[in-house]
Structure 1
Amino acid sequence: MTLTQLEYILAVADTGSFSHAARQCHVTQPTLSMQIQKLEEELGVILFDRTKQPIRPTSVGEEVLQQARLVVKGSQHLKEIVDDAKGSLRGELRIGIIPTLAPYLLPLFLKKIKDAHSRLHLTFEELQTEVMIEKIRNHSLDLGIVVTPIDDLNIANHVLFYEPFNVYLSKGHPLLTQKTLDEKDLSSEDVLLLNEGHCFREQSLSLCRNKKVPAAMERSFSFESGSLETLKKLVDQGESFTLLPYLAAMDVQDKKRLRPFSDPVPTREVSLVHGPHFQRKALLKALIETIKRNLPEGLSSTRSKNQLKIDNPLGYLK
């Protein structure tokens, strides 16, 4: 049994095809097929059901693949530990990031980290918190940028910044007469929200009390979106209000329709998280420092006394 053979069976499992796996591994299909057959003969089991398309692992193949991933990942960790000790920031890094941060945070630091570490290949995946944490647990991701806390003792977190919330109001909205807003001013019946599964949706609902909406302000439709940009455009068209994190509010054109909260300001804690398998300490430090160094004014890695941290209701994952 060789590490190469394990990499080949993982490629077949991931692509569902011997030909695609061969291209991914940069070998000919006969070479890949022969090595997998040798492994099956050595183990005395059939790993793949070749009668199905796409090709699927057998039941015992699933168990072998699960262990193979750990072995291959372990070998990669050995190389990463050595690189880290040498101060060499290179290789692949897979990072998850929640949708309410991705389009606003990544442009602030991505080019800087790429320019500083050209041999480092970064892959970002936009995911909701629950999916991301599961991928970190099963080693499909190295790191995640999420709202914390996460109730999992195996997930380590490093606070990047505290991000205050703003209220974005439609033209002519009665609340525009106020310079700052309180939670009691907002109604859960009136706010435009993200879809289920977004932690920011739950945080928004926790701030918007069931204040009665005047009949003149009642909406004639209900709408939930997976994008803060869609919610902003609906508000621009005259649909009530939505809540925006600080970064998402930075590019709002008509800033006269943004209202801050009065003290204590509702704030979310944004952190870089990883599982116990992640050992690249030098790389972790470089990434954290680069992100913090490129944050705009208004964001800080320490929470001020006038900020109220709104915990992530979806962060308590078992």
Structure 2
Amino acid sequence: MTTITLRQMRYAISVASSGHFGRAAAACAVSQPALSQQILALEALCGTPLFDRLKTGVRLTPFGRDFIALAKTTVETADALDDFALGRTGRLERPLRFGLIPTVAPYLLPRIYPALTENLPEIAFAVSESRTEALLASLQDGRLDLALIATDPPPGGPRLMSRLLFDDPFVLATPRSELAATPVTLSALPPERILLLDEGHCFRDQALSACRLDGDQVAHAFAATSLATIVEFVANGQGVTLLPQIALRKEASDPRIAIHPIDDPSAGRQLRLVWREGTPYTAIFDRITDVIMRIGEPADG
């Protein structure tokens, strides 16, 4: 008798979370055809579709909504049982699944990864990059063990433990040809000159808050998918942008860029590690926290 597998449930949960087969496949580290085949097999077992296929993505059917709710509970229970069985010794018998947001991963990982592997040689790391919402969803459904984010976990979500790593202040990047008073008053910047990441990045929301702008004021503005793209536009004289201090080693090396401090000490973010409450691996996560706090904090200036 063919039965529904945990893998199929994880794939379905990922599709439901992302609303898109391609993004779900990337999050699950499989090819889209392989994921689609498993979803089709799952729907055949259920005898009805889980998703309505749309031009721009997918949408849960009424049956699919009920299925996903039960699947999440089943996967969480299976993961808890797995953690309980494997965690009795406090050791991980599989790679530790560690996710980071895109405005942290390219700047922090090259510094902390060698230190993590040196200080925790018994741990294999499976590292991924995704936006905050997807990371929290992956923690909830068990696809991640640990995440590094730059916001407080939202209320009403999964029950998480959180450890503050360090503050990451913002600075202003301008074309070197532009003169700017130092330190800069963000509220004085013309909104049409501010270049931002596209919607869905928490750094965009934090930059808007620091500049005391709302989405309507910059709805017409350029929006990029990476800080590297924005910095190139700034270097070409097409605007200004906020950068987290952690990114300066990589993004501020271009001689066409000038970096200015900001006169508002609250303009910044806090980086933190989060994991599911009740995990047997808290001692491991505490060790990871200590390594990152020692190695990763950006230098002043």
TM-score (norm 1): 0.67
Q: Which amino acid aligns with 1:289?
A: D
Partner of 2:84: 78
Aligned residues of 2:170 and 2:244 also touching (Cα < 8 A): yes
Query: C-alpha separation between the residues in 1 aligned to 2:246 and 2:208?
Result: 19
Moved more, 227-236 or 267-276: 267-276
- Structure 1 residues 69 and 238, CA, compared in 2 at 3 Å: closer, same or farther? same
Aligned 1:48-59 pairs, distance under 5 A:
49=44
For residue 254 of structure 1, report the CA deviation from its aligned partner: 4.2
For residue 15 of structure 1, report the CA deviation from its aligned partner: 7.1
State the identity %: 26
Q: Which amino acid aligns with 2:133?
A: E
Runs of 4+ in 1 over 6 A off after TM superposition: 58-64
Query: C-alpha separation between the residues in 1 aligned to 2:168 and 2:69?
Result: 43
Aligned residues of 2:98 and 2:128 also touching (Cα < 8 A): yes
CA root-mean-square deviation: 3.3
Query: C-alpha separation between the residues in 2 aligned to 1:254 and 1:185?
Result: 25
Partner of 2:96: 93
Q: Which amino acid aligns with 1:173?
A: E
- Structure 1 residues 209 and 62, CA, compared in 2 at 3 Å: closer, same or farther? closer
Matched, 1:195 2:194: no
For residue 166 of structure 1, report the CA deviation from its aligned partner: 0.7
Query: C-alpha separation between the residues in 2 aligned to 1:204 and 1:233?
Result: 18
Q: Which runs of 5+ in 1 are unaligned?
A: 17-45, 211-220, 300-318
Query: C-alpha separation between the residues in 2 aligned to 1:148 and 1:48?
Result: 37
Query: C-alpha separation between the residues in 2 aligned to 1:160 and 1:125?
Result: 19
For residue 298 of structure 1, report the CA deviation from its aligned partner: 2.6
Partner of 1:288: 289
Q: Which amino acid aligns with 2:44?
A: D
- Structure 1 residues 229 and 47, CA, compared in 2 at 3 Å: closer, same or farther? closer
Query: C-alpha separation between the residues in 2 aligned to 1:146 and 1:51?
Result: 36
Aligned residues of 1:92 and 1:120 also touching (Cα < 8 A): yes
Partner of 2:263: 262
What do residues 158-201 of structure 1 show as CA deviations (whole Å, max 9, x unaligned)? 100100101010132132xx232122332322111000011111
Q: Which amino acid aligns with 2:83?
A: H
Q: Which runs of 5+ in 2 are unaligned?
A: 13-40, 52-62, 214-219
1:158 alignment partner, one of 138, 163, 173? 163
Partner of 1:125: 128
Aligned 1:1-318 pairs, distance under 5 A:
9-12=5-8, 49=44, 65-66=71-72, 68-84=74-90, 88=91, 90-152=93-155, 154-175=159-180, 178-209=181-212, 222-251=221-250, 252-254=252-254, 257-264=258-265, 266-298=267-299
TM-score (norm 2): 0.71
Q: Which amino acid aligns with 1:281?
A: T
What's the secondary structure of 1:253's corresponding residue?
coil
What do residues 127-148 of structure 1 show as CA deviations (whole Å, max 9, x unaligned)? 1112221222222222211112
- Structure 1 residues 274 and 172, CA, compared in 2 at 3 Å: closer, same or farther? same
Q: Which amino acid aligns with 1:278?
A: T
- Structure 1 residues 100 and 64, CA, compared in 2 at 3 Å: closer, same or farther? closer
What's the secondary structure of 1:166's corresponding residue?
strand
Q: Which amino acid aligns with 2:253?
A: Q
Query: C-alpha separation between the residues in 2 aligned to 1:152 and 1:14?
Result: 24
Aligned residues of 1:112 and 1:290 also touching (Cα < 8 A): yes
Q: Which amino acid aligns with 2:6?
A: L
Moved more, 109-118 or 223-232: 109-118
What's the secondary structure of 1:163's corresponding residue?
strand
